[in-house]
Amino acid sequence: MNNNVYPWQRNLLRQLISARAQLPNALLLQGKDGIGKHRFASVLSQALLCDAPMASGEPCGQCTSCGWFMAGGHPDFRLLAPEAQDESTEPAGAAADQGKPADKKASKYIIVAQVRELADFVNLTTHRNGPRIILIHPAEAMNAQAANALLKTLEEPPAGTLFILVSHQPQRLLPTVRSRCRKVNAPSPDRKEAMLWLHEQGLADAGSFLAQSGYAPLAALQLSDADHQAKRSQVFAQLAAPRAMDPLALAEQGEKLGLAWMLQWLQQWVYDLASLGLTGQARYQAEPSPETVRLAKTVSLIELFKFQHELSAAQRTLQHPLNPRLVLEQLLLSYWQTANRQESAHV
């Protein structure tokens, strides 16, 4: 349990705590994955319940209320999360549909029974005369039934109740739920701030991981795992040498690595090829290999953009179980054709 927010979140916390008397009944904290939204929402909840929050907006960590909160048993606080909350190293949106043998009983959704259990909670008087807080994370994990049940409560919120919805895919929420919430954009650190924080976490050479994560430092920390890096480099090395690459063998390998990771890597790869071709700069690779730079010079941008569309379409179906091997085979064959059809062939 951590009473502090990340450095890039301090201003927002101070603002929200100083405006605590004017907070609406529902906040939607939205922002990309890997920037610490969950920690922020948790510290905000604790601070709103705290008897004497500090000038920084952070909870005191000393009072009875903080004691309860830190022990995970504050009577005026509820956390709604999927039973099978996946804190592992899956990229955003990967959910649990990687064909792994998951626990069948644990749902990856927030289900209606969980929302209904709130009814008693929100209708009781609070234990400490303070607010009553319900943290929903990640809010997009609510299935349709759960979201509809929540909507009823959001329409007539009991006094003193605050819902904090946390989401990195707010577009997946019911529009009617979204419209009942005041949107709060979760801050991202700038590069310097992120590098400093990663350095403090013991990651000396963080530039490359930060780039891979799309500048989301928590995600960068997870990505720094040596085994993960080795797998990514291996895939990139094959993509960089399209003449030697065997699309079907790579699809087989990719299925084992996970469809979600493969799609994310392919997207980053294609983005970098286009970007290197256009501007000479890569975004997701701190130091692109000489092979990568050479390929970027010869590959057709038009073909690359066509492939990018194909990738995005595959990404959109990631939520629904598919045959990952087939998806990868199709994509990698398509990439193989794209990368081998070089600009010079057209002239």
**Chain mean position to CA 131:** 28
Which is nearer to Zn ion, 70 or 286 (by Cβ)? Answer: 70
Is residue 92 a contact residue for Zn ion (CB under 5 A)? no
Instruction: Please give the structure tokens belonging to residue 111.
Output: 């289900």
Region near Zn ion per CB under 5 A, out of 58-66, 81-89, 109-117, 252-260: 58-66
Which is nearer to Zn ion, 62 or 233 (by Cβ)? Answer: 62
Q: Which residue of 59, 82, 131, 277 would you call a contact of Zn ion, by CB under 5 A?
A: 59
Q: Where are the alpha helices (DSSP H) in the chain?
A: 10-18, 37-49, 64-70, 112-116, 118-123, 144-155, 175-179, 191-200, 207-212, 217-223, 226-240, 247-257, 259-279, 290-298, 301-316, 324-340
Q: Evaluate the CA torsion angle 281, 284, 289, 291 in order and state its sign.
A: negative
Which is nearer to Zn ion, 41 or 195 (by Cβ)? Answer: 41
Least separation in angstroms between CB 166 and Zn ion: 22
Least separation in angstroms between CB 96 and Zn ion: 36
Helix (H, G, I), strand (E, B) or coil at 121: helix
Which is nearer to Zn ion, 68 or 307 (by Cβ)? Answer: 68
Query: Residue 84 CB: number of other CB atoms within 10 A?
Result: 16
Which is nearer to Zn ion, 133 or 332 (by Cβ)? Answer: 133
**Chain mean position to CA 55:** 30
Q: Which residue of 60, 81, 151, 237 would you call a contact of Zn ion, by CB under 5 A?
A: 60
Which is nearer to Zn ion, 2 or 185 (by Cβ)? Answer: 2
Residues 65-84 that bind Zn ion (CB under 5 A): 66
Which is nearer to Zn ion, 110 or 133 (by Cβ)? Answer: 133
Least separation in angstroms between CB 162 and Zn ion: 17
Which is nearer to Zn ion, 66 or 223 (by Cβ)? Answer: 66
Least separation in angstroms between CB 43 and Zn ion: 11
Residues 323-342 that bind Zn ion (CB under 5 A): none
Instruction: Please give the structure tokens belonging to residue 110.
Output: 């927030």
Residue 228: Cβ-neighbour burial (10 angstroms; 0-12, 13-18, 19+): middle
Q: Which residue of 23, 54, 63, 286 would you call a contact of Zn ion, by CB under 5 A?
A: 63
Phi, psi of 78 (to 5 degrees): -135, 140
Sheet holding 26-30, edge to edge: 77-80, 132-136, 161-167, 26-30, 182-185
Tell me the residue length of the chain.
347
Least separation in angstroms between CB 13 and Zn ion: 14
Least separation in angstroms between CB 46 and Zn ion: 7
Least separation in angstroms between CB 37 and Zn ion: 22
Q: How far apart are the first and last CA of the chain?
A: 62
* Site size toward Zn ion, by CB under 5 A: 5
Least separation in angstroms between CB 63 and Zn ion: 4
User: What is the contact mask toward Zn ion in residues 12 to 51, using x (rule: CB under 5 A)?
Assistant: --------------------------------------x-
Question: Which CA distances in Å does 149 have to 117, 145, 334?
Answer: 11, 6, 44
CA distance 170 to 65: 31
Where along the sequence are the contacts to Zn ion (CB under 5 A)?
50, 59-60, 63, 66
